[in-house]
């Protein structure tokens, strides 16, 4: 296990890197809104224990507990996409395959980046991806279409850029460009990101499977979390070089 800092959108991006062997494919794990690597480190540890290299990152300005540079008020989906692209560029020459994993907003970002560079991302696994964030941002607009300088979202202050970037494109117009395999897992009790957003995504991606977890909400718990890990491990294994 190694702590790394990679140049990214607002300075240095922090992450935990694990490489069990030189030939192990890499999984890059992206956290959700106002999160950090700690929320996904159990997934990274699990994948690494089963032979995959992992990099579990903190987006720049991505959360109050982030160890990366940057402020939440300057963060947006496009700054986080820039971060993830920087991470892929850093690791790409050294790995036989790169997979993306993302939860909530991290799933949105992973989808966006994968669609813009499908040749570099072998496969994509996302949990309760926050495609709803664009509709949420539209609701924050002033009557004249502008956005306030700052706004409280989920008890967290975000800046004007967050909303402006969120409404600057349609994620469903983008993700159809990703031709690799996609695994989407979503709980049927998710009150933050309704299941219908993932159902639509599963129809837009050229090659996607949607698995609905009964009784699970926004953030998998207990047996559902373990089940999600096992399913993702099998998904990555089946798509690894030589398998």
Crossing angle for the helix pair 222-238 and 41-49, to the nearest 10 degrees: 50
Domain that residue 12 falls in: 2-238
- The reply to whether 80 falls in a domain is yes
The pLDDT assigned to 243 comes to: 59
Share of the chain above pLDDT 70, in %: 100
* Domains contained in the chain, number: 1
Helix (H) or strand (E) holding 106: helix 105-116
Distance, CA of 13 to chain centre: 15
Q: For residue 226, what is the domain's CATH number?
A: 3.40.50.1820
- The reply to whether 243 falls in a domain is no
How confident is the prediction for the chain on average, in pLDDT?
95
Give the tens place of pLDDT for each residue, 62-86.
Answer: 999 999 999 999 999 999 999 999 9
Residue 96 CB neighbour total at 10 angstroms: 13
- The reply to whether 72 falls in a domain is yes
Whole-structure pTM value: 0.96
Compute the distance between CA of residue 196 and CA of residue 39 in angstroms, rounded to an integer: 25
> Would the pLDDT of 159 be above 80?
yes
As given in the structure block, the two tokens for residue 149 are: 């300088």
- Tokens 């698995």 correspond to what residue? 211
- The reply to whether 41 falls in a domain is yes
Mean pLDDT of 193-199: 97
Task: Using DSSP, state whether 218 is helix, strand or coil.
Answer: coil
């Amino acid at each position: 296990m190694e702590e790394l800092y990679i140049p990214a959108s607002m300075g240095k991006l922090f992450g935990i890197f694990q490489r069990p062997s030189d030939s192990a494919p890499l999984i890059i794990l992206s956290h959700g809104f106002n999160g950090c690597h700690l929320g996904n480190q159990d997934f990274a540890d699990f994948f690494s224990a089963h032979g995959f290299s992992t990099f579990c990152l903190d987006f720049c300005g991505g959360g109050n507990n982030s160890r990366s540079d940057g402020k939440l008020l300057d963060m947006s989906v496009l700054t986080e996409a820039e971060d993830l692209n920087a991470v892929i560029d850093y690791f790409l020459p050294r790995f036989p395959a790169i997979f993306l994993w993302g939860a909530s907003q991290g799933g949105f970002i992973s989808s966006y980046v994968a669609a813009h560079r499908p040749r570099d991302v072998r496969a994509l696994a996302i949990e309760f991806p926050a495609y709803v964030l664009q509709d949420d941002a539209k609701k924050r607009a002033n009557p004249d279409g502008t956005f306030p300088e700052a706004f409280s979202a989920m008890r967290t202050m975000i800046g004007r850029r967050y909303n402006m970037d969120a409404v600057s494109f349609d994620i469903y117009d983008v993700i159809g460009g990703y031709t690799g395999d996609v695994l989407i897992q979503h709980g049927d009790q998710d009150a933050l990101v309704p299941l219908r957003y993932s159902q639509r995504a599963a129809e837009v991606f050229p090659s996607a499977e949607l698995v609905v977890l009964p009784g699970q909400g926004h953030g998998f718990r207990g047996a559902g979390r373990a089940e999600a890990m096992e399913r993702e491990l099998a998904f990555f294994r089946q798509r690894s070089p030589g398998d």
